[in-house]
Structure 1
């Protein structure tokens, strides 16, 4: 027994680490930071049960399905996992989503009444763009905070970007997150590639940067508003049923790490910088 428990604890920690890579597609924030994941249970046979909940009973079925499927894929990537079983609770179509994800169905197959277009690819692309722009704005403002001129930011290569030292903390984490999307979308791969381009891959000129950042600021504010709304609704909903306290609402479901605070710090860090007037 003494050997089994540490082994299980290690595997549980690995599952939480993988779940932290899964984001709410609308908010670009981790489902663990948001407090959506309530409980993780690791079984000796390699099965993993993941119980999660959302802020309201009627949260978008599209988003709920995407998060459940992303959780399944993220945890299934661990070599020892035989089966990952996300279970959404307290949602209007939880049964359909849970069954569809467990059977490997598409959203259109699992919830025909909610998928008139038949595919979630367009939805994923829409929110991938928003995630890219939010991360990009954050890094541009962080570079301004270090004293970089706008012209230098517009010309910055991926190699130069990699060499910028922000020290430990949230900015360093966001630096890697922005880079991940650059590479994923093939916008920058080589050291001489530009680090800051539009989502379509076009260069951002110095005289365009102020208006460009103003538009990105609108994207961020909208996402931060939705994030705050989701957090408030989730806290109000489950404080009553779970008997939780205000402190509990700020930690992810079972890890108790207080990781939700990182998102608040991210918003505060971005607001410390101001966009210069044209």
Structure 2
């Protein structure tokens, strides 16, 4: 019995580790750090149930679908998992999202009324860009903070970047996350490739860096505001649930800038 319990604990821990790699697509923060994931259950057959809840009843249907699908993919990558079943709770289209992800449907097929017009791949790329730019700003400012001049930053190779050590735990955590996106997007692969380029792959020139950073600052401020708003709304929602009042929060999220509750074609 003890051996079985230990194995269950190990597997549950592995699931949480994979879920920690899943991010809210707009905020570029882990769904576990944001507090979205509430419960994980692992059975003896390798089936995993993941219960999660978003800040409001009206949070964007496309974002919710993306997170559910990313959770399924992340947990399904564990070799012992037979089936991963994310279960969104207390959301306007939870039933459609849960069924769609469970059956491997596309977002357009699962939620035809809420289809945003473009594909989810386009949405993923939009928020991958935001994540890239937010992480990039962190690294550029951190390099400035430890004495690097702008020309050196603009010329810095991936090899040189790998050799830099940061004392700040947060910056040290962001360094591999930024590098990961560089590799994933193909913007830098070889040791001599430039570390700091635009999302389109163009070099950042020294005289352009100040204005470029101003734009990145705007991206960061928007994401930080939305993150703070989402955390606050989720905290309020949980207090309501703790008080045995599981109804939806009284107003739409408003933080995701994506017309959260609006079906396709709404004015």
TM-score above 0.5, yes or no = yes
* 1:118 shift after superposition: 5.7
2:114 matched to 1:122? Answer: no
* 1:120 shift after superposition: 1.1
2:195 matched to 1:185? Answer: no
2:170 matched to 1:170? Answer: yes
Distance in 1 between residues matched to 2:59 and 2:116, nearest whole Å: 18
> Counterpart of 1:35 in 2: which secondary structure?
coil
* 1:166 shift after superposition: 1.3
Partner of 2:207: 207
Distance in 2 between residues matched to 1:179 and 1:242, nearest whole Å: 41
Partner of 1:135: 135
> Counterpart of 1:48 in 2: which secondary structure?
strand
* 1:169 shift after superposition: 2.1
Please show how residues 241-252 of structure 1 align to structure 2 within 5 Å. 241-242=241-242
2:126 matched to 1:97? Answer: no
> Counterpart of 1:38 in 2: which secondary structure?
strand
Asked whether the 8 Å contact 1:68–1:88 carries over to 2, the reply is yes
* 1:132 shift after superposition: 0.4
Instruction: Flag structure 2 segments of 5+ consecutive residues without an equivalent.
Output: 245-267
Q: Cα distance 1:118–1:171, how it changes in 2: closer, same or farther (>3 A)? A: closer
* 1:97 shift after superposition: 0.3
> Counterpart of 2:87 in 1: which secondary structure?
strand
Partner of 1:79: 79
Distance in 2 between residues matched to 1:232 and 1:199, nearest whole Å: 31
Please show how residues 196-275 of structure 1 align to structure 2 within 5 Å. 196-242=196-242
Partner of 1:13: 13
Aligned residues: 244
Distance in 2 between residues matched to 1:116 and 1:70, nearest whole Å: 19
Moved over 6 A (4+): none
TM-score by length of 2: 0.89
Asked whether the 8 Å contact 1:108–1:118 carries over to 2, the reply is no
Distance in 2 between residues matched to 1:121 and 1:142, nearest whole Å: 31
Q: Which moved more, 1:165-174 or 1:104-113?
A: 165-174
* 1:167 shift after superposition: 4.2
Distance in 2 between residues matched to 1:169 and 1:45, nearest whole Å: 39
* 1:237 shift after superposition: 0.6
Instruction: Flag structure 1 segments of 5+ consecutive residues without an equivalent.
Output: 245-278
